[in-house]
Chain A
Amino acid sequence: MPTPTDAAGSEPGAAASSAPTPVIEFVDVEKSFGNNVVLKDLNFQVARGERVTLIGPSGSGKTTILRLVMTLEELTGGYIYIDGQPLTHHKRDGKRVPVSKKEQKRLRTRIGMVFQQFNLFPNMTVLENIIEAPIHVLGRSKKDAIAKAHSLLEQVGLPEKADSHPSSLSGGQQQRVAIARALAMDPEILLLDEVTSALDPEVVDDVLNILREVADTTNVTMLIVTHEMGFARDVSHKVMMFDGGHVVEEGPPDKIFTNPEQERTRKFLSAVLGH
């Protein structure tokens, strides 16, 4: 299995020595909604600094994986470890024991997420959206938080929008603010949940370029769900193909996109690329 280097701005797919503790580890994960089993016996690891893209038809459970990592869904079976520490349950004498809320919160601050629907707070300005959590969750000073927010807004190309309200921004601009808001927390893990799916086609590239730059200049671990195969190919070290709650195939993007082993993957790719 190819693993990324720890160095920032590593070439996607570049192999390196095996990582010590995986930053995300799924062990026998099971997720069901009522009687509907979405994920079953799922095992995989993501190394520090690794960028993994999950692809597959809709309903295959990709987004559920991200939401489990963000604790937006309740895990119904198995274990998730963040940097070796249990996120929702420990295993003790073969039984699942829930971890304390406090511990979970502490781990959660290290994870950031960008949503398909942006989910900016409409009652706050752009700046307030970005500084809210750094000040009140991480306990940073207001001055530092504002300075950082301005530099992030610069980075996402919206330096003049600090005092605007989200409703006055276009979808692409809102999503760029949402990226800045997630990055303001200095996350070790960034979850990107179909971040361009709700955008007009002509602004998709603006958003993806910002994310490419983030990938190039930082060492943040990324777990990505996207339908933008070009982007997946550019930024990820590893691509995992899902169907029916299982990993059908995984490997470096070059291999998956050009020479997949499984018929299922080939079909899926020809459907999404050939449209």
Chain B
Amino acid sequence: MILNLTQAAEIDDPSMVDEEEVRRSPFWDWDFAFDAFPDIFMAFLEVTLLVTVIGSLLAAVLGLVIAILIMVLPKPLAWLVRWVANFIRMTPIVVQLIFVFWAFVWMDALTIGIIVFGVHYATYMSEVYRAGIESVPRGQWEATTALSMSAGRTWRKVVIPQALRSTVPSLGNYAISMFKDTPFLLVIGVAEMVTVAGERGAPVFRTTEVYTIAGLLFLAASYPTAVLINRLEKRLAYAH
């Protein structure tokens, strides 16, 4: 799973390509495209989707924990949690990947990728949850006070179920964002889709097909999901 890091991180100079060779070959070679597709698609399923799904779940759970911690912790601690989250959110995922990769050299790069993506996006999702929690009308909190409900039950039975409703579409959108950020994993040498595409094309000096396939796979997966989430958003908005 781990490539040689310096190799992965430094791409060949495009101007070094043999232009004569390029001119002689066709711009698009269908045979090669069909030949390369299975490998790229497998990397898509095995790495890109895996990171996105597990990373999103991790981010969704951790994000909720962060949002609640910021709301219930005593002020100085809440302030600390919020600024750590701000820090993670406002710094590049690429540098975070490299940082964690070298800080935990004994760890599998794929695992690091999932954790970094999960934590990074958790800081975004925590803001979504926070907005969702704040959108629960004050009257709901007041009703729980009037009924003497405990804090735990108020959160579990009244606030979170209502907050989640409005957050689902935004969480979905962040999952799509994460999906499109997964190629950043190449900086720690994880063989995700774009890396595999590059490796497939390099030996034969063909790049058009492999990168186009990778791009189309991203489009094919993210666009319908975005449309679906948009529909869901509208339905939830009307239903309430």
Contacts and interface: CB of A to CB of B under 8 A. Distances in A.
Interface string A128-149: 0000110011000000000000
A120 B144 CA distance: 10
Contact of A123 (B139, B142, B153, B162): B162
Nearest to A105: B148
Interface string A95-134: 0000000000100110111010111111110000000110
Nearest to A108: B148
Contacts of A176: none
Contacts of A39: none
A1 interface: no
A interface, over-half SS: loop
B142 A115 contact: yes
A167 interface: yes
B149 A119 contact: no
Contact of B157 (A71, A105, A124, A185): A124
B146 interface: yes
A182 interface: yes
Contact of B149 (A72, A115, A122, A137): A137
Interface string B140-164: 1011011111100100011001100
Interface in B152-183: 153, 157-158, 161-162, 165
B146 A123 contact: no
A132 B147 contact: yes
B139 A115 contact: yes
B240 interface: yes
B147 A137 contact: yes
A100 to B, nearest CB: 15
Contacts of B147: 112, 132-133, 137, 181, 185
A10 B163 CA distance: 45
Given A132-B157, A136-B153, A167-B240, A119 B148 contact: no
Contacts of A182: 146
B148 A133 contact: yes
Given A117-B139, A121-B158, A108 B145 contact: yes
A109 B149 CA distance: 9
A113 B141 CA distance: 13
Contact of A72 (B145, B161, B240): B145
Nearest to A122: B162
21 contacts: A70-B142, A72-B146, A113-B142, A115-B146, A117-B137, A117-B139, A118-B139, A119-B140, A119-B143, A120-B143, A121-B157, A121-B158, A122-B240, A123-B161, A132-B149, A132-B153, A136-B153, A167-B239, A167-B240, A185-B148, A191-B146
Interface of B: 137, 139-140, 142-143, 145-150, 153, 157-158, 161-162, 165, 239-240
Interface of A: 70-72, 105, 108-109, 111-113, 115, 117-124, 132-133, 136-137, 167, 181-182, 185, 191
Closest 9 CB pairs of A and B: A133-B147, A119-B139, A119-B143, A113-B146, A123-B161, A109-B148, A137-B148, A108-B148, A117-B139
